[in-house]
Amino acid sequence: MTTLRQYLVNSFAEDGFAGNPAAVCIVENWPSEAQMQKIALENNLSETAFCLCLSDDSIEPQFHIRWFTPGCEVDLCGHATLATAFVLFKHYFNDAGVLHFKSRSGDLHVKKTDDFVILMDFPSYSLEEVRDKAEFEAVAAVLGETGKKMETLFKGIDYVAVLKSAKDVAAFKPDFGKIASLRGDYNLLITAQDSKYDFASRCFFPKEAIDEDPVTGSAHCTLGPLWAKHLGKNELTAYQASARGGILHLTVGKDRITIGGRAVEVYR
């Protein structure tokens, strides 16, 4: 069996017991897809990232990155990208200014600040409001009692249910079987304006073998533009109200979004 260097990093966290844990595997050659999927299943984390160096330029190195849940490979993952960048900046490319990643979602660029906040340049995704009554009611039914507090429903990559308050977001008790029964490939994000932060959210991906993701960078490629438009501001602070919790700093542009956060290495 091939030996890989693997790190466990908590993303969007200030300490070792918060944020979203991701495994990072630095590879010299790609394992088979079957092997990568088995490693992700063995780790049993929401994401395992695999990273291959393409160019070891000391200032702007280039990589290929792939992300696996315990159930499948995904197109984009924010917290595992942050974790990978943290590992690369800390252990491999201390002097680098920018890391460039090739991925299934195109080219991604990551910087770090002087105090080691990781800034990720990601695509932003648009949403359309769901106006079909039957579709609205189907999602409301999945939310149960919380469905009565859904003010607006959007869809893009996933469904985004806007609730009346951040307290409703925190109090929601999910039925993962019902969420998995949503039409097509849609998973579910719930969100609301918050008094301490600009907005709060929770994210559920049972179709990808992740019941509730602790902190989801990629979901904010959708949530950030939504709230930037609603609040009339492009600089936002978001809180993902999972049991572990996490804070994300967002700068929303026309077609791109910068997602920033800290990370903590747990082991290697």
Q: Buried b vs exposed e over 116-129: b needs ≥16 C-beta within 10 Å?
A: eebbbbbebbebee
- 151 CB-side CA count, 13 A: 10
Q: Whose CA is closest to 205, among 215, 196, 192, 195?
A: 215
Band the pLDDT of 152: cuts 50, 70, 90: very high
48, 76: one domain: yes
208 is a catalytic site residue: no
User: What share of the chain in percent tops pLDDT 90?
Assistant: 91
91, 169: one domain: no
Give the model confidence (pLDDT) of 202-233 as tens digits: 999 999 889 999 999 999 999 999 999 999 99
- Residue 1 has what pLDDT? 60
149, 91: one domain: no
pLDDT(88) > 90: yes
88, 136: one domain: no
| Selected catalytic residue, list 14, 28, 42, 47 | 47
What domain count does the chain have?
2
Band the pLDDT of 16: cuts 50, 70, 90: confident
Bridge pairing between strands 256-261 and 246-252? antiparallel
Tokens 């039925």 locate to 175
Task: Compute the average pLDDT of residues 250-262.
Answer: 95
CA angle 247, 125, 70 (to 5 degrees): 65
State which residues form the domain around 214.
128-252
Alpha carbons 122 and 135: distance in angstroms, whole number? 30
pLDDT(15) > 80: no
Bridge pairing between strands 188-193 and 235-240? unpaired
118, 167: one domain: no
115, 208: one domain: no
143, 231: one domain: yes
157, 224: one domain: yes
Question: What is the CATH classification number for the domain harbouring 195?
Answer: 3.10.310.10
149, 114: one domain: no
- Residue 17 has what pLDDT? 82
User: With helix as H, strand as E and coil as C, how does 30-89 read?
Assistant: CCCHHHHHHHHHHHCCCEEEEEEEEECCCCCCEEEEEEECCCCEECCCHHHHHHHHHHHH
Which pTM was predicted?
Answer: 0.89
